[in-house]
Amino acid sequence: MKKRILGKSGLEVSALGLGCMGMSFSYGPPKDKEEMVKLLRTAVERGITFYDTAEVYGPFTNEELVGEALAPLRDKVVIATKFGFNTEFDPRDPKEGVSMLNSRPDHIKEVAEASLKRLKTDVIDLFYQHRVDPDVPIEEVAGAVKDLIQEGKVKHFGLSEAGVQTIRRAHAVQPVTALQSEYSLWWRRPEEVVLPALEELGIGLVPYSPLGKGFLTGKMDAKTTFDSTDFRSKLPRFTPEALKANQALVDLLGRIAEQKNATPAQIALAWLSARKPWIVPIPGTTKLHRLDENIGAVAIELTSEDLREIDDAAAKIPVQGDRYPEKLEQLTGR
């Protein structure tokens, strides 16, 4: 497995990480725990060293799963988790007049202690603010994480879906190792101002949903339906109309995949990795054959000509449907 370093931080991880959320949360009912433990340990055997979870996934159950699975292999892996939500509320279902966010310094420190226990570890490798809390100055957030780093409980500080000014302000207090944001061929907004700022500051990018929540694998069409427990059932981009309109993007990936003897998912991941050497996608999966397929993307080299062909064709495909309902989109880019 190839390795990459996230920004100037020196944090070395496998060129592809594993997003663990869907094993416990958001994409239908939780999966069988023993099967997921086996999958996580197999991923380590396959060379994946970078694992992504959060206290709010479950809540708590995903961290517990990751902790149990990786405890015997702790010296071989980098574990990222997140703080910043009020776990009494489901972050996918905003309530009027109720703040879903909580990044008060005392709360951050409480979350760190609880996450350490669930993850069965004495240090969190990468601790992200899950969403920017407008009620807490980012300098206070960065200061709290800086304290945790000085205490040896956290190694690296990260932000998720933060805006450029927030990133700069946080970075001035405690260097930011990585920004996690959605980024894929069907969500390219980070290219506008975020990527240039990350490059300037020496911060790595960890794209979540690099396969468009499964859409870019080519395994969906306008007839695809989602269980009510599946978060995608609430997303504008996954209505039958949007799925049908956006199929052109999957067709493009399929054409390139044929040329490379690859799958659409592998091309989508290879495209991301080819953008910058400090980008590390974290596709999630609950199936071993999908894990192997995703790992296969690391070996695919896209030339500058390939990238130009993809970009030129993608520029002619207007993606339809918002990625989140309005209230959830408001939590991003702050």
208 is catalytic: no
Per-residue pLDDT of the chain (334 residues; tens, 9 = 90+): 999 999 898 999 999 999 999 999 999 899 999 999 999 999 999 999 999 999 999 999 999 999 999 999 999 999 999 999 998 877 777 777 677 999 999 999 999 999 999 999 999 999 999 999 999 999 999 999 999 999 999 999 999 999 999 999 999 999 999 999 999 999 999 999 999 999 999 999 999 999 999 999 999 988 999 998 899 999 999 999 999 999 999 999 999 999 999 999 999 999 999 999 999 999 999 999 999 999 999 999 999 999 999 999 999 999 999 999 998 999 999 9
3-state secondary structure of 32: coil
Choosing from 57, 128, 183, 208, the catalytic residue is: 57
The token pair that represents 129 in the structure block = 């603010």
pTM higher than 0.85: yes
Output the CA–CA distances (angstroms, integers) from residue 118 to 8, 152, 257, 272, 286, in the order listed: 29, 17, 40, 32, 21
Note whether 120 and 67 are within 8 A (CB): yes
Q: Which of 103, 1, 129, 20 is CA-nearest to residue 64? A: 20
Element (H, E) at 31: none
Instruction: Pick one of 3.40.640.10, 3.20.20.100, 3.40.50.720, 3.40.605.10 as the CATH number of 3-329.
Output: 3.20.20.100
Burial class (CB in 10 A: 0-12, 13-18, 19+), 150: exposed
Query: Where along the chain do its domains lie?
Result: 3-329
> Residue 259 contacts by C-beta under 8 Å, 6 or more apart in sequence?
none
